[in-house]
Structure 1
């Protein structure tokens, strides 16, 4: 949509403003924060993903009805009429009316019932998979919003500190302790912090707008802080058997396997039972004869004729089995990455805590020296910048701990309720 529009700060702000305005125009949403599970349900409803599950269940019901039918395919009506009107015209005729009924061969009805059962399992696993997939999107959106809000909080604190320092500088300027240039520097720092605060607030509003657009909920869920699931006790590269991704992949393979079995069972086609009557008259004025007609047509079931259908079913089964293996490898890699990311987030938090303590101790000492006239304003502002950056980094590392747990639960296949 924007491929031909160069990206500039102005266009970026306009896009954010349009997104925020769009979400505000969505209408009133929930007045209070709900749960993460409710947000996922709402997002699924907005995107209409559950219609896919309904379509699968409709297919299952149709397959059940077909397997329960007395005939294997559509019956037909065949009619035939013979007459000598255009030849000898002696009044002879022959009427024939036959109903053709395709019959089940042994195993064919059972094969279709098995397909219906596999479709039923696929519908159940697809429902869980869609919810798990949406859970990942909602989790990421929630934590993006929380991280953005964390930056806003830190920017607001930095702005308040800068204003307090500027007020102190103004007082010392009035007392003749500082030069006019120091006051200008202090007020410039206030303007810098205000710009950072406005940018952070715009990013937070955009992140919250994206969450509202995805879920239709007004506020972030109360339970976005997650504890790591008990499934994390499994070996590092082993997935839980109940993982929604693998359950859905297994059910897809199951459907393909049953459809392959169905294709093999129907390689001989369906016998055709024909029931009808024949009415014959040999000449005008003669009595007509009515007879019951029964025919049974049995197809040969040549392997060459059924081979393309069976091969196509075999190909689909092979593709689904290969896709399952690919998904398994990808899910295992994602789980390993999520565990490493969580460990890395813990180590980063420990470093951030040490850095924050050191930076704030240094800032406290420099501020005291500044108040005593032993340090200049530039040194104080430099120390304040270091302390502010350390505080922001610490707050973000703390929030990233929660995001790392959420991502690990997602990789483990945990779905919030």
Structure 2
């Protein structure tokens, strides 16, 4: 009987210890990230480090970098003295195919496009809007990958919790099987009890292997996402992961969310582009500078002259209306997107707050259920020691207690994930 008692103690102690650790992690997840592992090697990354690693591996990072470079190049372009690249002209004429009197005419010219009034400032404002939008897009991209990293990290935490519980269950049932087998040899129990105990131990071992496989799959997905072999230890003593946010906290400022900021800056860029269209009602005028050399005939001296002119294109409706319609359409789409984005973010934040509140209530219910079933298993174990309860009843009690412990562990992770999703919905980075 000493072994049966030890098996239950191992299972209950393991379940209690794991539950306490996970509760601490779930409660501390309100804007928290894990500290570095106490072990010298390997060192677990923080959530912030994992997010940065995932971002650096993403194609979105290259796109954001390219957008910034394009905006920088455009800013350099509008700092030039001409509105478009200058053009060089060359021409030559003679009369060799007509009178052949030796008359020649050579001309070289330079066409210099000029800025229209207000066009340069309008394009400069549009470029500034592009730069701000590219910077905001980087922040929004970080937030997007923070969500992926949080989901993956808590997924690993859930699989790790189930794997640890499966390990404890295997140890407990193997000890029970060893004790039952000794009692069968002593003639105190029937051989059928040994078969039942062995069957439960094998079932627990199969569940253990399945839990380890799921944990390995989650770790592989983490490696693919971040390129880091180790996930943050969410059960360790946490460090700050942003400002603390409780589910009851009100007055969520939608406009401070990175996605809302991107939407707002997209509207601003559309307005600036509309201003550029308004300031560019025609193609840029050109300042023309020409040098001409005329030779009246053979034996006569050449005559040189310099000419200055201006070429002014005319703005027509066929040119301007399509450009203005495109700019107005872009602005209308941006305004609609901004409104829908703000509505979505507000709804997501409200749902995330409700999910945290529900998860807290579910956790308390699972905690009570787990404690009750553990106590019931201990009482049945005492009855089994006294010979008043058969082995199948004890095994059923152990299975129920294990299932309750597993549900409790899952709910602890669910609470941590709900709080992480609340941070995500509020736009809080690790």
Question: TM-score scaled to structure 2, two decimals?
Answer: 0.85
Q: Is contact 1:63–1:115 with CA below 8 Å preserved after alignment? A: no
Q: Tell me how large the CA RMSD over aligned residues is.
A: 2.0
- 1:325 equivalent to 2:336? Answer no
* Deviation, structure 1 residue 274: 0.4
Structure 2 residue corresponding to 1:306, chosen from 320, 325, 340 = 320
How many Å separate the matches in 1 of 2:418 and 2:411? 10
How many Å separate the matches in 2 of 1:67 and 1:169? 87
Q: Which residue of 2 aligns with 1:284?
A: 298
Q: Deviations over 1:258-281 (max 9, x none)?
A: 222212211222111100112122
Structure with the larger RCO, 1 or 2 (CA within 8 Å, 6+ apart)? 2
Q: Is contact 1:169–1:182 with CA below 8 Å preserved after alignment? A: yes
What are the residue-to-residue correspondences of 1:116-195 with 2, within 5 Å? Answer: 116-195=127-206
Q: Is contact 1:273–1:295 with CA below 8 Å preserved after alignment? A: yes
Q: Is contact 2:247–2:353 with CA below 8 Å preserved after alignment? A: no
Q: Is contact 2:111–2:287 with CA below 8 Å preserved after alignment? A: yes
| SS of equivalent to 2:255 | coil
Q: Deviations over 1:331-384 (max 9, x none)?
A: 222212211111111011011011112211221221111111111122111111
- 1:46 equivalent to 2:57? Answer yes
Q: Which residue of 1 aligns with 2:218?
A: 207
- 1:396 equivalent to 2:403? Answer no
Q: Which residue of 1 aligns with 2:6?
A: none
Structure 1 pair 231–108 and aligned structure 2 pair: CA distance change class (3 A): farther
How many Å separate the matches in 2 of 1:53 and 1:138? 20
Structure 2 residue corresponding to 1:55, chosen from 49, 60, 66 = 66
* Deviation, structure 1 residue 164: 2.0
- 1:111 equivalent to 2:122? Answer yes
Query: Which segment is superposed worse, 313-322 or 114-123?
Result: 313-322
Q: Is contact 1:267–1:306 with CA below 8 Å preserved after alignment? A: yes
Structure 1 pair 90–315 and aligned structure 2 pair: CA distance change class (3 A): same
Q: Which residue of 1 aligns with 2:427?
A: 413
Structure 1 pair 294–232 and aligned structure 2 pair: CA distance change class (3 A): farther
How many Å separate the matches in 2 of 1:108 and 1:356? 72
Structure 1 pair 301–204 and aligned structure 2 pair: CA distance change class (3 A): same
Structure 1 pair 172–309 and aligned structure 2 pair: CA distance change class (3 A): same
Q: Is contact 2:242–2:429 with CA below 8 Å preserved after alignment? A: no
- 1:32 equivalent to 2:43? Answer yes
* Deviation, structure 1 residue 316: 2.1
Q: Structure 1: state its 5+ residue gaps.
A: 1-29
Structure 2 residue corresponding to 1:339, chosen from 353, 362, 376 = 353
Query: Which segment is superposed worse, 238-247 or 179-188?
Result: 238-247
* Deviation, structure 1 residue 55: 1.1
Q: Which residue of 1 aligns with 2:98?
A: 87
How many Å separate the matches in 2 of 1:105 and 1:202? 68
Q: Structure 2: state its 5+ residue gaps.
A: 1-40
- 1:196 equivalent to 2:199? Answer no
Count of residues in correspondence between the two structures: 387
* Deviation, structure 1 residue 123: 2.0
* Deviation, structure 1 residue 53: 2.5
* Deviation, structure 1 residue 48: 4.5
